[in-house]
Structure 1
Amino acid sequence: MAFPYAPTPGNDGPAGETYAVALVRDGDFAQVTEVLRRLRFTGWAGSPDDGWLPVVARSGTVAAGRRGIVEVGAELTGDVLVVRVLADRQLALVAWSAGEELGRYVSDPSREPGAEDDVIDDPLGVENAAAFAEVCGHPEHTGELAELLNDRLDPELVNESERLAKILRLLGLPTWLVAVASLPRDIPTGPRARELTRLGFGLTGVRGKALDRAVRPVRRRRPPPPVIADPPSGGGMDPWLL
C-alpha cells in the first residue's frame, strides 16, 4: 500500500509546505485548460484521477486579475473543490457546484497573509462540511469531516498536510495532492511531472516560461484577496470591562 507523503511536523514557524489545488469533478481537460489559458494561469493541469481533474498552483496570485487559486476555481465549471495549504499551518477549502459557491473553510484565519493581529484563530466555516462532502459525492461522511475540520491542531505535533491527507482519504480524493509542492520535480506517490501540463501565463513551452518570469514580480506585489474577507476578531473590547 502506498501512503501519501506529508512533511514532518516542526515548530510553530513558517517552515512547512505551501501549495494549492483546484479539483474539477469529471472535468474535461480541453475545457479546463481553455479557461486556464484565458485567465493567464501559471501552474499545472493534470489528467483525471479517480474522477477528478487537478489544477495545481503555488499560493498567491497565479492568474490575471489578481486571482489566486480560489478565484481560479470560481471560474471553472461543474463541481469544484479548492484546497490551499499555507506553510503547513493553515488549510483552506472552498466548493462550488454549477457555478454556485457552496461554502468556505479556513482552519486558522489569523494566519491569512495580511490578517490583523486580533483575528481569532478558531476554525471558521466548519458548518460547511456537508457542502464539501456533498460536492465530493460522500454526504455520508459529513460528521467525520466536520470533526476533522473543527480540530485545532498543535503545530508542534501535527501539520495541515496531515489533516488534509485524512480528508482526502475520507472523501475519496487523490491522496498524492499533499505532495504537489515537490513540483516541478516528480510527485511522490503521484504522477510524474512530465505527465502534467505546465502552463506559464496561460501558455505552454518556452514562451510561457518567459512570460511567467516577466510577470512574477508584479504578481508577488499584488496578492489575491483573503479566502474569508472579514473574519471575526477579538478587538474592540474595553479593557476596563474585563
Structure 2
Amino acid sequence: MVGIPPVGMAAGETDGPDGYSYGAVLVRGDDGLRPDVEEVLRGLRFSGWIAPSDRGWIVLLGDHGAGVVAKDRRGAIDVGADLARRLPGAVVAVQVRRDRQLAIVAWRGGDEAGRYCSDPSLEPGADADVAAEPVGSDSASAFAELAQRPDAAEALAELLEDELDPDSVFESERLRGALRLLGMPDWIVAANALPHDIPTGPRARDLMRVRVGATGAAGVLRDVFVRRLRRRRIPPAVIADPPRQGGMSGLEPWMF
C-alpha cells in the first residue's frame, strides 16, 4: 500500500497532529435521495452535505472533523445507527480520525452486521493499555455481503487486518481501498475539499447543504448557535470494550 495523502490534500497538510478527520454515512438508494432519509436527518438535526445517489448509494457527509454532527453527541456512526433503525435496507458508516484511525460499521434491516476499528487506542480518552491493533477485521465477509460483493471478502479482510506504518501510510488509503472493493464511492476520502468541488466526486453545487437539520437561511441561523457547542464534544468510542495489551481484556489484576 503506497503512503500518499488523500485526494485533495497536499503532503504535509493536516487538520491536526497527523491528518484529516471526516465521517460519512452511505444509505442504499438506487433512485436518488429518499424523503424518509431527509425526514430522519431533520429529526437528528444533522449537519453536513447530502450527495446524489452514486453507484446505488446515497452519501451523507458530516461536517468536517470526526466529531459530533447531530444532536445528543451523535457522530457519523451514531447517525448511521439511527438511519438503520428507521429505514429498510443497508446502511454503512465510515469515520477517519486524523488519518490515523479508520472505523467502519454496517447495518442491514436495523441489525448491526459488522463493526471495525483500525486502532482503538487512538480514541480520545482511551486507557494507556488499550491494544493498538485492528479490531473487527472478521466483519469483512459481512461488509462484502451487504455491498453485494461477496467475492471481495478475502481481499477486504487482508486490507483490514493490515497494521499500517503510521509514519508512511494514511488510513484514508485503507478506506479508499475498502470502498473500491465494495463498489462504493471512493471520493469520500476527499470530503475535506468541501465546500469546494470534491476531486473525482460530485461538484459542490450538486450537494445539498444541511445545517442542524435545515437548509437555506434557517439552517445558517441554527448553525450559529450549535456549531461551537458540537466542536467541544466527542462522540462515543467505536469499540465500547476494546482489547487490552497482553490479551487480558476484561480481567482484573487481582485475578493473577
Deviations 1:103-148 (A, max 9, x none): 1100011111221121100100011111111111101111100000
Closer, same or farther: CA 69–54 of 1 in aligned 2, 3 Å:
same
State whether structure 2 residue 27 is matched by structure 1 residue 24: yes
RMSD (CA atoms): 2.2
TM-score normalized by structure 1?
0.90
2:219 aligned partner: 208
State whether structure 2 residue 47 is matched by structure 1 residue 36: no
**Gap runs ≥5 in structure 2:** 1-5
| Equivalent residues in 2 for 1:163-242, closer than 5 Å | 163-234=174-245
Aligned sequence identity (%): 52
Closer, same or farther: CA 176–16 of 1 in aligned 2, 3 Å:
same
Counterpart CA distance in 1 for 2:17 and 2:244 is: 22
Structure 1 residue 182 displacement after superposition: 1.3
TM-score normalized by structure 2?
0.86
Which amino acid in structure 2 is aligned with residue 164 of structure 1? Answer: L
Which amino acid in structure 2 is aligned with residue 42 of structure 1? Answer: S
Counterpart CA distance in 2 for 1:6 and 1:183 is: 10
State whether structure 2 residue 71 is matched by structure 1 residue 64: yes
Counterpart CA distance in 1 for 2:192 and 2:242 is: 27
| Equivalent residues in 2 for 1:3-152, closer than 5 Å | 5=7, 7=9, 14-26=17-29, 29=33, 30-57=35-62, 58=64, 59-76=66-83, 77=87, 78-152=89-163
1:158 aligned partner: 169
Which amino acid in structure 2 is aligned with residue 56 of structure 1? Answer: L
* Runs of 4+ in structure 1 over 6 Å off: 235-238
Counterpart CA distance in 2 for 1:48 and 1:19 is: 20
Closer, same or farther: CA 112–8 of 1 in aligned 2, 3 Å:
farther
Counterpart CA distance in 2 for 1:163 and 1:223 is: 24
Q: What secondary structure is seen at the aligned counterpart in 1 of 2:52? A: coil
Q: What secondary structure is seen at the aligned counterpart in 1 of 2:142? A: helix
Aligned residues: 236
Counterpart CA distance in 2 for 1:6 and 1:162 is: 13
Contact 2:8–2:199 (Cα < 8 Å) also in 1: no
Structure 1 residue 7 displacement after superposition: 4.0
Contact 1:168–1:175 (Cα < 8 Å) also in 2: yes
Counterpart CA distance in 1 for 2:220 and 2:17 is: 28
Structure 1 residue 9 displacement after superposition: 6.6
Closer, same or farther: CA 207–189 of 1 in aligned 2, 3 Å:
same
